[in-house]
Amino acid sequence: MKASVYIATSLDGFIARENGALDWLPGADGGGGNGPAESEDYGYSAFMAAVDAIVMGRHTYEAVLGFGDWPYEKPVVVLSSRQMDLPAILTQSVEAMAGSPQDVFDRLAERGFEHLYIDGGATIQRFLRARLIRRLIVTRVPVLLGSGIPLFGPLDGDIQLRHVETKSFASGMVQSVYDVPA
């Protein structure tokens, strides 16, 4: 099984404002970004077609709930050490799970999942520290926030990456793909 990340950051490396707001993202209600980004897919559909399930932290799950309609058709695992009450409409597709990244990874592999989409800052950081992420797809939005929630945090040691490709888009966004050797 493999785990991948697909995420947007500000040019200075933040995935959200300090309060968790995403209003700076193109297409967000705040209208952030430079130019019409809503018509560009940035490879997201192809990425989602390749994953079996999504693993996200509780804060990311709560942020997604605030978007309105649930955007995922894939199974979603929300990592939380506290009891969660799921809306009735999501009980068939969303489940809560606790444990270390390796425990979660192993349990999902036993259930037959082959490719996980890891989402949410703390969750991505935990899976990186556990050396479970195999691909990073990071799209940089041309905005400087100055502060916020960083994509990357402290590590026990260097994680070497292998650059796969970088694309630029008319919107000003730049997407880089990296493989993370085992």
Q: Is residue 68 part of a domain?
A: yes
pLDDT band per the 50, 70, 90 thresholds, residue 38: low
Sequence letter at residue 180: V
- Structure tokens that stand for 1 in this block: 């099984």
Q: Is residue 83 part of a domain?
A: yes
pLDDT at 33: 44
- CA angle at 110 for the pair 108 and 113, rounded to the nearest 5°: 50
Query: What are φ and ψ of residue 71, in 5° steps?
Result: -85, -5
Residues 6 or more apart in contact with residue 62 via CB below 8 angstroms: none
Distance CA 128, CA 126 (A): 5
In the predicted model, is pLDDT for residue 98 greater than 50? yes
What spatial distance separates the first Cα and last Cα of the chain, rounded to whole Å?
12
CATH number, domain of 75, equals: 3.40.430.10
Distance CA 42, CA 174 (A): 10
The strand pairing partners of 97, in sequence order, are 79
Q: Which of 71-85, 109-123, 165-179 has the lowest mean pLDDT?
A: 71-85
Q: Is residue 61 part of a domain?
A: yes
More confident residue, 136 or 87: 136
Q: Is residue 107 part of a domain?
A: yes
Q: Is residue 149 part of a domain?
A: no
Q: Is residue 100 part of a domain?
A: yes
Domain that holds residue 125: 53-134
The model carries a pTM of 0.91
Residues 6 or more apart in contact with residue 162 via CB below 8 angstroms: 178, 179, 180, 181
pLDDT band per the 50, 70, 90 thresholds, residue 41: confident
**The tokens 């490709």 sit on which residue?**
165
What tens digit of pLDDT does each residue of 5-15 get? 999 999 999 99
Total domain count, the chain: 1
- Structure tokens that stand for 33 in this block: 């970004």
What tens digit of pLDDT does each residue of 121-156 get? 999 999 999 999 999 999 999 999 999 999 998 888
pLDDT at 34: 46
Q: Is residue 24 part of a domain?
A: no
Q: Is residue 156 part of a domain?
A: no
What CA dihedral angle connects 32, 172, 179 and 48, to 10 degrees?
60
